[in-house]
Each structure stands twice: as structure tokens, then as C-alpha cells.
Structure 1
Amino acid sequence: MSTAPAPYPIGTPGTPWGDAERAEWLSRQTRKRSYESEVLAVIERLRSRFDVEQYGCLDYGPERYPLMAMRSRDWRDDLPVVLITGGVHGYETSGVHGALQFVDQHAADYAGRVNLLVAPCVSPWAYERIHRWNRNAVDPNRSFRDDGKAEESAALTRLVGPIRDRAILHIDLHETTDTDESEFRPALAARDGKVFEPGGIPDGFYLVDDSENPQPEFQKAIIEAVEQVTHIAPADDSGEIFGSPVVSRGVIHYPLKQLGLCASITNAPCRTTTEVYPDSPRVTTEQCNAAQVAAVCAAIDYTLAQR
């Protein structure tokens, strides 16, 4: 016999949050790790090989977070651009460290072939608190739209603006974790005054393609590379992953622009969102980072082979 999940501890069921509820939620958030030592220090070590720039700054009360990006040192206007983003959701750790690991270990392999623009940690406040939302209880990955309310998203959009039409590829590095089901989806339902409907977490890696411009061969090439590192999420009994129909092995579709997702911010013909599953007993932290790196390399290799 199943039982209904306990109400979320903030707010009144069925009533969207107001300022008081958001303030209560914020009061419960604590700093659990350091953006400065775990991310900025790594970027600083890469400065001798790549151009590093600050593209914005989050001013969150007493705390300030510089937003940092890295570019190919020998940027050439005649080369196409590859955009790599991570940490749009700050709690999705391998997205951040996978992006940094790619830059350190593989970016030089593409010198003279593409211009790389990498924003490894789009949401540093959330990175420190291991959370999906920003300080204002807003999801940055639903805010890449004209009416978006996340400065994290607006700053990245401004950075990307000049290369929006020159990008041939954008790969956005994410994770799906057990806390999506235990914390973040219940919090979302409570915030919006809706009923939380329990679901399941897929065990394995998968990709989110654009339903408005699907690229099945591109997605397939990434899946084939990543399965050398970690396992691919199977479809559930309904033929779905996380509530969306599986269109090919390890691939689902979302309407990227309609949902205001990060992967919609360029007009690149090849776009995808990776989803690593770090809570599986079958993987290690190192494998999760390596899966992100494998996805990036496979995405770039495939895109370049089509030119």
C-alpha cells in the first residue's frame, strides 16, 4: 500500500510561495563547499594556457561571485565556435568539473580547428549550496528567455550574444540525481502551489535533444562514446526516461527554447544537454567527470566531421 509523500516543510499545500516562504527557504540554505577553492582556483591554474575573462558578477547581499569563462588562446574569427557550459544547476557537480577537466586535458587537441568558449560554473551560489535554484528560489535553467528572472542566465546570454550565430555546437553538462526526487521536485511543486507527483530516477547517462530541431546521429555519436565510460539509462516500463518518451537509446526530447533551457541560447545546429547519474552504485566521481569529458569530445569530433 503506497502512502502520499509528506508535505514539503515550507508553505501551505496548494498555495504558491510568497516573500515569507522564499525567505524561510533561503534561511535554510547553508554553504557546503567553496567556489573559490574548487572552481576559481582551477580556472586560475589554466590561465597560462587559455584566455580567462569575467563576464559578470552575482551580488548576493554580502557575497559576490565573479562569473568566469575561458576562451581559446588563439581565437580566430575564421573558425567556428564551440560553446561548453556547466553548473547551470549548481548541485550538478560533474557538469562543472567535467568542463574544467575537458579544458585541462583535451582543449589543446582542437587548437586551430575551433574556437572554444567554456563557462564551467554558471551558478556559483548554487554550487556552494549544492542546490538547483539561485538565491531567489529561481531555476536558472528555466530562465534563458526574455522574461527570465535569473541573473546567472542573463549574464551568460550576454556573453554568448556575439557568437550566437557562429556556434556550430553547444553542449550543456548536467546531472540527474536522487535529490531531484527527494528535494528539488517536491520544492518546485511547493513553490508553485502544485501537487508533487512522485516519479523515478533513471539509472544511467542520457541526453536531451531539441524536439524542434532533432539531431539523432549527433546524439547517437555521443551515446556511443559515453557508454565506453559509464552505462546508458534504459527506458522505464512506459518507454520513458524521467517522464519523456525515449526516441532512441539514451535520448529524449525537450522543446529547448519553449522551456527557456540553456541549450537554446545559440543557433548552433548541434545542441544537447548531458545527464549523468552520480548516485548509481555502478559509478565513481571520476567516471562521472570522465563521462562528461567523453561527451564533449565526441560532440566536437562529430560536428567537425560533418563540415
Structure 2
Amino acid sequence: MTNSSSYPIGSPGQPWGASEVAQWRARQVKSRSYAAGVLPAIDALRERFDVREYGLLDYAEGRYPLLAIHSRGWRDDLPVLLVTGGVHGYETSGVEGALQFVRDHAGDYAGRANLLVAPCISPWAYERIQRWNPDAIDPNRNFREDSPAAESAALVALLAPLVDRILVHIDLHETTDSDESEFRPAVAARDGKDYEPGEIPDGFYLVDDSFNRQPEFQEAIIEAVAKVTHIAPADEHGEIIGSPVVADGVIEYDVKKLGLCAGITNARYVTTTEVYPDSPRATPQQCNDAQVAAVRAAFDYALAYPDD
């Protein structure tokens, strides 16, 4: 274990208060623009898809419209296929992969399903290449109606009418070297706990729902992604990030209990992707392509076996 005093904010054993959160927030530097990097890519899709503003984040650093892309000609008799990206703003291929999928492949599902894509759930964090929102809250532990994270609450409200109609939900993430160098030490310091170093897996993996296991579905995604990038092996303990590997490149979480984005609906098929962008064996475009391959494989499998 490493004492939380190794993080530059807070005191060992003491959870952060408002002062420490303010110190942390003051350290966050805007490195890219949501308005320039994401909104134009969404605007370019408006000729073929409907775009809905489902929330507006009003922070001291700016106002951020939250946008979702919908199939045009939405039909209530068709299943709903859901993609979410950018829950953690620093996980770039989640955002870019979601947009690339809509641009290049969403038309393949016209007349077969309704598509709903929320490509950048945390735009403040996207700009600062950060995991948390400005209140030092991780949106991906807070997807519930009374969420303290405005990003999470907005998505919960958007999806509330559809929770029982969504067939598949794929949530696009990354596991990065900065998880170990910054974000895990930060959460330990924030919560007044000791930091326990971990191991970053080299490769792509998935997180299944331990209370709604769909092994064949996960296998189909892994098979498709393996054609694009390498799959993360288990470590010497048979684990990936501390969880037992249940199949090639697959671990499990109780997604609803943990308040994860993947648990926000009652979809039959659920998965969370984890791309490793810091691998010397993967390029940024390869990471985006891996996300797209995962989305396509997830949707194709779910539509082939909607009642399994």
C-alpha cells in the first residue's frame, strides 16, 4: 500500500472537504475544446439523424449542452440500441469511436432498430482530459435518479422512458496508464484511504454484468475486436484490474450496484468496453476502430438473438 499523502492534495486518512475539492479543481487545465472538437462532429450528422439536447451543464468554466443522436423516423415497434461514450472525459476513443460509428455504420441499422447514441456524457472532463466532473465526482459511480453528478442525472432522465425497451447497451471506455499514475491515487486521497498500486492490462477487454451474464454476446464482441487490436491477457493471478477473468478478455462487475453507466437500463445485452490507448501496439485510430468493431458486433449479435 502507498499512503495517500503521496498525492499533492489532502491529508493522510482524511477525506477531502470543500477546500481540497477547490484545490483539485484549480489544478485542472483545459487542454481541448468540446465546442470545437465534438459539437461540429455532431452537427455534421444532423442531415441524417435527429439530435436532441437532453441537458445543459452550467459550470463556472462554461456551459455545456449535452447531446444525443437519434435515428430519424423513430419507430415504437423496433428495439432500441444504445451507445454511450465519454462518461470519463479523458477516454478519447469512447467519444470518437461513438461518433465514428454513427458516421460510418449507423445507417446499416435503418428499419431494423432505433439507435440512440450519447457520445460525450462528460464534456467538462473531456476538455480537461479528466476522469471526474468539476466537483471531483466520478460520473461512473453515480448513475441513479438522485445522482450528485449532473452528467449522470441528465442521462438517467433521458433514458427513463426507455429503460425496458433497450435491447443492448454498450458503454465505451478506456483503461489508461494515467489510471495508475493519477486517477487511482487521486481517488484514494479524496476518500482518505491508502492507495494500493495495480497493474494496467495491455489490450482490449470487456466488463459483463455479473447479474445478467451474456457470455456468447461478450465472446462475439471479443472475436470482432481481435481482428482490429489485441485482447488483454490475464495477469499472473488470472485477473484483469483485480477481477477474475471469466473468458478471454472478459471480467464481470455488478453494474447496477456500483452505479455504472452500463447498469442504467434493463437491457438484455450489456457490456462496457475498455481500450488501452497507451499500448505501443495500438494507434489512436486503431482504438477508435476497436470501439466501432465492438459496437457493430454487439448490435449484430443482439439483433440476431433478441429473445435468448
TM-score norm. by structure 1 comes to 0.98
Equivalent residue, structure 1, for 2:94: 95
CA–CA separation in structure 1 for the residues paired with 2:117 and 2:246: 29
- Cα offsets for 1:14-66 (capped at 9, x unmatched): 10001110000000001000101110000001100100110000000251000
CA–CA separation in structure 2 for the residues paired with 1:5 and 1:165: 42
1:148 CA drift (Å): 2.2
Equivalent residue, structure 1, for 2:160: 161
- Cα offsets for 1:97-152 (capped at 9, x unmatched): 00000000000000000000000000000000000000000000000124421000
CA–CA separation in structure 2 for the residues paired with 1:38 and 1:91: 13
1:162 CA drift (Å): 1.3
Instruction: Assess, with a 3 A threshold, how the Cα gap between structure 1 residues 237 and 160 changes in structure 2: closer, same or farther.
Output: same
Equivalent positions of 1:205-244 (< 5 A) are 205-244=204-243
Equivalent residue, structure 2, for 1:189: 188
Equivalent residue, structure 2, for 1:86: 85
Equivalent residue, structure 1, for 2:176: 177
SS at match of 2:220: helix
1:13 CA drift (Å): 1.1
1:40 has 2:39 as partner: yes
CA–CA separation in structure 1 for the residues paired with 2:15 and 2:157: 31
CA contact (8 A) 2:145 2:157 kept: no
Indicate the larger mover: 3-12 or 292-301: 3-12
TM-score norm. by structure 2 comes to 0.98
SS at match of 1:293: helix
Amino acid at match of 1:300: F
Equivalent residue, structure 2, for 1:301: 300
1:55 has 2:44 as partner: no
Amino acid at match of 1:261: L
Aligned residue pair count: 306
CA–CA separation in structure 1 for the residues paired with 2:188 and 2:247: 30
CA–CA separation in structure 1 for the residues paired with 2:138 and 2:247: 28
Equivalent residue, structure 1, for 2:112: 113
1:6 CA drift (Å): 6.6
SS at match of 1:258: coil
CA–CA separation in structure 1 for the residues paired with 2:121 and 2:88: 8
Equivalent residue, structure 1, for 2:20: 21
CA–CA separation in structure 1 for the residues paired with 2:285 and 2:5: 35
CA–CA separation in structure 1 for the residues paired with 2:142 and 2:278: 27
CA–CA separation in structure 1 for the residues paired with 2:283 and 2:38: 20
Amino acid at match of 1:265: I
CA–CA separation in structure 2 for the residues paired with 1:76 and 1:258: 32
Amino acid at match of 1:287: Q
Equivalent residue, structure 2, for 1:123: 122
Q: What percent of counterpart residues are identical?
A: 70
CA–CA separation in structure 2 for the residues paired with 1:5 and 1:44: 43
CA–CA separation in structure 2 for the residues paired with 1:74 and 1:102: 19
Equivalent positions of 1:243-262 (< 5 A) are 243-262=242-261
1:74 CA drift (Å): 1.6
SS at match of 1:252: strand
CA contact (8 A) 1:53 1:68 kept: yes
User: Following TM superposition, where does structure 1 have runs of at least 4 consecutive aligned residues deviating by more than 2 angstroms?
Assistant: 2-6, 145-148
Unaligned residue ranges in structure 2 (runs of 5+): none
1:4 CA drift (Å): 7.2
CA–CA separation in structure 2 for the residues paired with 1:13 and 1:277: 31
Amino acid at match of 2:282: V
User: What is the RMSD computed on CA atoms of the aligned residues?
Assistant: 1.2
1:260 CA drift (Å): 0.1
CA contact (8 A) 1:142 1:148 kept: no
Amino acid at match of 1:206: Y
CA contact (8 A) 2:51 2:70 kept: yes
